[in-house]
Amino acid sequence: MSTQTRLEIVRAIETIGVVAVVRLEEARSGLDVANALAAGGVTVVEVTMTVPNAVTLIEQLTAALPANVIVGAGTVVDAKTAGTVIAAGARFVVGPVFRPEVIAECHRHGVPAMPGCFSPTEILNAWDAGADVVKVFPATTLGPGYFKDLRGPLPHLRLMPTGGVTRENAGAWIRAGAVAIGVGTALVDPKAVAERRFDAITENARQFIQAVNDARAPQAVRA
């Protein structure tokens, strides 16, 4: 079990800047995928509850991966599941929706909660309820300008877009104020997983990390 505090985990996720959203048709490739992501610099791995035997996979990854790889759970919609994944070793919990009871359960165990929200009111309500990072989802229909607009009156929010984040727009989200980006199939390519081309996932990871780092460079901020 990690001895990191909630804030330390959040800060580590912010520093890395990319959360890999891992949705697999079967769990047996999970460790290979996580190792490939880590080799490319993406050391934050969100295992969604849609993966068969997701809880067992979280246990496996937590036991097998180096301590610098932060394994979390995604698609968590109730407090019972939150408690289960935390017991399995999840170091952060992400949801597609805002459920106050999930945040409360995560905090009871000292684990960051990242609920999914869409509207400004929902986002602020989640933040006021204790969300450590607010996942803006689905970001597919939005754009980086949405973050700029939100952070004008609400600059204290920690926001992470998920859905529709690509290598091409990753930097724009960071420049708009995202503390990290959540990336699914654009990073963990289902075809590459099926063909066991894990080197392609490593290369994807490198490119996303590079996009985030470039966007955070001083000249990018001034631009």
- Three-class DSSP category at 45: strand
**Which sequence positions are flagged as catalytic?**
46, 135
Residue 71 backbone class (left: φ over 0; alpha: ψ -120 to 50; beta: rest) = beta
Share of the chain above pLDDT 90, in %: 95
Q: Is the pLDDT of residue 216 over 60?
A: yes
pLDDT tens digit sequence for 136-148 = 999 988 999 999 9
- What's this model's pTM, rounded to 2 decimal places? 0.96
pLDDT at res. 218: 85
* Sign of the dihedral through C-alpha 146, 175, 100, 83: positive
* Whole-angstrom distance, CA of residue 20 vs CA of residue 27: 15
Peptide bond into 138 cis (omega under 30): yes
Q: Which residues pair with 136 in a beta bridge?
A: 117, 161
Distance of CA 67 to CAs 89, 146, 168, 203, Å? 12, 35, 30, 22
Of 38, 42, 25, nearest to 191 (Cα)? 25
pLDDT tens digit sequence for 61-70 = 999 999 999 9
* Whole-angstrom distance, CA of residue 113 vs CA of residue 128: 12
Strands (E), 76-180: 93-94, 113-114, 116-117, 134-136, 159-161
Q: Is the pLDDT of residue 165 over 80?
A: yes
pLDDT at res. 222: 44
* Sign of the dihedral through C-alpha 180, 184, 188, 192: negative
Q: Is the pLDDT of residue 71 over 80?
A: yes
Burial 28-62 (b: 16+ CB within 10 A, else e): ebbeebbbbbbbbbbbbbbbbbebeebbebbbbbb
Domains and CATH numbers, the chain: 6-217 (3.20.20.70)
* Whole-angstrom distance, CA of residue 176 vs CA of residue 59: 35
